[in-house]
Structure formats: structure tokens, C-alpha cells
Structure 1
Amino acid sequence: MENNCLNCGQIITGNYCSNCGQKKYRRIDRKYIIEEAQYSLLHTNKGFLYSVKNILKNPGKTAREFIDGNRVNHYKPILLAFVLSGISAFIAIKIVGLYKIMEEMTINGNKVNSPFMHEYSSFITSYNSFLALLMIPFFALLTKLVFYKWGHNYYEHVVMNAFIQSCYTIFYIIVLYPLIYLVKDDPSLAMTFTMSVFLIMPFILIWFYKGFYQDRKLSSIISRVALMFLILGVLYIGLIIAVVIINLALNPEAIQQVP
């Protein structure tokens, strides 16, 4: 009876029933419990670490292989970005203390005494990974526009950007957060490290897209990444202007703090 599916009765020739997908019968033992706990509680099931390892090696190649169909060993890219963002947010808030760093910098620097700007800056700093995750559909639209003749649809660009977000978050976790933690008693220096990611991000994108589009010239990839940042720069300046206008409208006294 062990070769018959206990769900539908069909004969199982591999590890799963070809009719209903149920896994072949296996007696519950210690190994079974450990594997179920790993999958249910951590939901890694080896794919999480496998994907992280391959992203560290070559994120663009990893994304390309996934999109081209090599998916069985990989963690789902959007879920991977979500899990990594959760880990990143926990480290940023509970271990590194970015919120407190931002608060001390604001008070000691005496640059902004506006509750609105303080809360806005602290929120952006503490939850940048979650915000970036929510922006994946937008960035997919942007990269689809910039790489529109290179043969991938919008939804494939969503997957690409999920891998990019994962790569970006891993960089924060293993490189940037340890540096910030070491200098957390110097809020200005800590925030300098935090903002340095904007200088490193173009290199991460060039590395990613060169691995993804291995047959394309590096100069062509660099020009498209530059165009992407030009568009983002214009949008970012517009956002900053909007935030400043809102801040001044809600707190007219903030303008009096300028020496």
C-alpha cells in the first residue's frame, strides 16, 4: 500500500503522486519532525539559504536562471524579498537602533525641530526595506521602460526587482548595519553610512544587469542604469519639495530655526 497514494489511490512512482500531488507515504520520525518544523516555522526548506548564497555570488545570473525556468531549488523571489525585509527591519530597529540614531541626530544637530519631519525621517530610516518592497511594482515599471527592447515583460521585471531588492537588503544586513552599529554613538557618521547606499546602489544595479544580460555590452547597461537614476532623481526631488511644502504648511515656525 506504500506505493499507492493515500489520498487518491493512484500508484506513486516517484516522491509525489502524479495525479493529486501528495507526497509519498513516509513514517513520521525525528527527521520528519525536524524538516516539518523548519518548513512550517522558518519556511526556509533549504531554498532560502540556497537563493541567498546564489544572490551573493551573482544576483543577475540567479534571477535570469529563475526566470528562464530553473526554479525548483529557489525560494520564491517576492517571498524572499519580504522575509529579508523583515529581518532587515528587525536588525535596524532592535539591534542597530536606527530610530534612536535619527532622533539624536535631529536633536543634537538642531536642524529640524518639526514633529512631522522627525517622524517622517525616522519612519523612512527604520522601514526603508519595507518601503522598497512596496515599491517593487513601481520599479518594475521603470525598469521595463528603460529596458523595454530587451525582451522581458512587466511581470518578469517584477521578479527581477524582487531579486534586486533581496540583493540590496542582504548588503544592508551583512555590510552596512555592522558598520552603523560600530559608530552608532556618532549619529552623524552613522547616518552618513546609511546614506552611502545611494552611492553604492548604481554599482549593485550594474553588477545585477550585467549578470542578467550577459550578452549585452557593459556600456549599454551603464547608460540604461544612468537613465534610471536620472528619472529617479527627478522624482525624488519632486518628493522632497512636496515634503518640505507640507512640513512648512503644518509647521510655519520651522522656518524660523534657520540660523
Structure 2
Amino acid sequence: MYSVKNILKNPGKTAKEYIDGNRVNHYKPILLVFVLSGIATFISYKILNLKEVMSAYFSQQHLNSNFMNDMMSLMSSYNSILMLLLVPFFALTTKIAFRKWGHNYYEHVVMNAYILSFYTLVSIILVYPIMFIFRHSPNAFFTITQLSALLIPLILVWFFREFYKARSLKSIIFRVIGVLGLTILGYLLLLVFVGVAGAVFSILKGPESLEYLKSK
């Protein structure tokens, strides 16, 4: 509870204290983000029925690919778990962007664990209740999901501003833009992979492919 309270008050300062060795009463950040991601996923799947709502939204948008529909619904439903699994990737992006500021890769893993913990807590406390209200309106539900992602750049700037107190706001914003650029690049590569996998899936599911496979 102590760690949660401090993360909500100032995640950047809390991460700085932990990395600097002041770890008394602090929950291990990797374990904390794992627990919070599990709670967030439970709420998304069991209370918000996010998978069903997102499937309804994608159907309304006339997305005909069952593979893409299922994939996007799955990614939306287990967003917190997926972000947890991507912490090593996020740490790589911040390590590259802040490479001259004196912290190693493991310390960036810790930083990103705190960033994700804060984002997950905000989602549980603020975003999920709003989503629950609009759970019967797929369009509004999806819009809220998209808008919540806009919190990420603000959280990053605030976090690193508090973590690197001696650095200027301008230099931090510049590096956060670099982090976002690297993240978007990685996301685009993931979409390409999903798209290729979807195309392969569609081909294999086609009647001609089935006949071909049977003939073999």
C-alpha cells in the first residue's frame, strides 16, 4: 500500500528513490506491476467484458477478417498483460532515448515498471469506471480506450521530469518524443507481422488451400 500511495503521488520520484537504494517499505516494482496487471486484466475480462465489447465494435466497423477481429479484441482485452510483457521493449526505447544520462538497462526496466504501474493504477481508478458506464455503447467504449492512450505522453514527461530533476523540461520532452517514435516504429512492425499472419491464416482457411492440404 505504501508503494501504491507513493506511485500515485509521484512515480518518477518513487522510482528514483528505489534505484538510488532507498528501498525500505517499497514493493518490488516488477512484482507490483505484475500484480496490478493481473488485477487490471481481471477487471477488463470479467467486469467490463472488454473482449465482447471490442468484438462488437469491430463487427460494426465491418472488419471482415475473423483473424484480425479476434486478434484486436484479444489485444484490447489483455492490454495490461501485453504491456507487462513489453516492459523489456519499452526499457530498450527509454535506454536508447536517455542513453547519455547515466542509467543502465536494468534501471530502465525498473523505471518502466513504475511507469506502467502508475498507468495501470490510473486506468483502474479513473478510466475503467468510465468504461463501465459506457460498456453497452461500443463506439463510446472504443473512443474512451483510445483517449486513455493519450495519457501516456503526459505521464512520460511528468515521470522523467521528476526523475531527472536537474535536466530541463525541453530536453526531457525531446527525449520523450524519441521514446514515442521508437515505440510507434515497434508497433508498426508488430502490425505488419499481424497483417502477414492474418493473410497467411486467410489463405490457409480458404477452400482451395483446404483441398490442397487434403490432397497432401
The alignment's TM-score, normalised by the length of structure 1, stands at 0.75
- Aligned pairs for 1:126-141 (under 5 A) are 126-141=77-92
Secondary structure at 1:184's aligned position in 2?
A: coil
Amino acid at match of 2:175: R
- Out of 184, 187, 196, the residue aligned to residue 233 of structure 1 is 184
Aligned positions of 1:27-176 closer than 5 A: 49-107=1-59, 109-176=60-127
1:110/1:60 CA distance change after superposition, 3 Å: closer
Equivalent position of 1:216 in the other structure: 167
C-alpha distance in structure 2 between counterparts of 1:134 and 1:99, whole Å: 19
> Higher helix share goes to which structure?
2
Q: Give a deviation string over 1:153-212, Cα, whole Å, max 9, x none.
A: 111111111101101111111111111111111101101111223211000000110111
Letter in 2 for 1:202: P
What CA distance in whole angstroms lies between the structure 2 residues aligned with 1:100 and 1:156? Answer: 38
Query: Which aligned segments of 4 or more residues in structure 1 are displaced greater than 4 angstroms?
Result: none
Q: d(CA) in 2 for partners of 1:158 and 1:235?
A: 17
Distance 1:195 1:70, change over 3 A: same
CA offsets, 1:47-102, max 9 Å, x none?
xx111111111100000011111111111100000000011001111111101111
Secondary structure, in 3 states, of the residue corresponding to 2:150? helix
Measured on the aligned residues, the alpha-carbon RMSD in Å equals 1.7
1:239 Cα deviation after fit: 2.0
Higher relative contact order structure (alpha carbons within 8 Å, sequence separation ≥ 6)? 2
Separation of aligned partners in 1, 2:64 and 2:185:
27
Q: Deviations over 1:18-75 (max 9, x none)?
A: xxxxxxxxxxxxxxxxxxxxxxxxxxxxxxx111111111100000011111111111
* Aligned equivalent of 2:200: 249
Q: Which of structures 1 and 2 has the bigger CA Rg?
A: 1
Determine the C-alpha separation between the residues in 1 that align with 2:198 and 2:61.
Answer: 16
Please give the residue correspondences for 1:1-12 in structure 2 after superposition, counting only pairs within 5 Å. none
CA distance in 1, matches of 2:200, 2:20: 51
Residue of structure 2 equivalent to 1:12: none
Q: Tell whether the 8 Å contact from 2:55 to 2:70 is kept in structure 1 after alignment.
A: no
Alpha-carbon separation, structure 2, partners of 1:75 and 1:235: 30
Distance in 2 (CA, whole Å) between partners of 1:120 and 1:194 is 16
AA in 2 matched with 1:65: E
Matching residue of 2:211: none
Q: Which runs of 5 or more residues in structure 2 are unaligned? A: 204-216
Number of aligned positions between the proteins? 205
Between stretches 114-123 and 153-162, larger displacement belongs to 114-123
SS in structure 2 at match of 1:197:
helix
Q: Distance in 2 between matches of 1:179 and 1:241?
A: 32
Please state how far the C-alpha of 1:110 moved relative to its aligned partner.
4.4
SS in 2 for 1:196: helix
SS of the residue 2:90 aligns to: helix
Q: Which moved more, 1:50-59 or 1:191-200?
A: 191-200
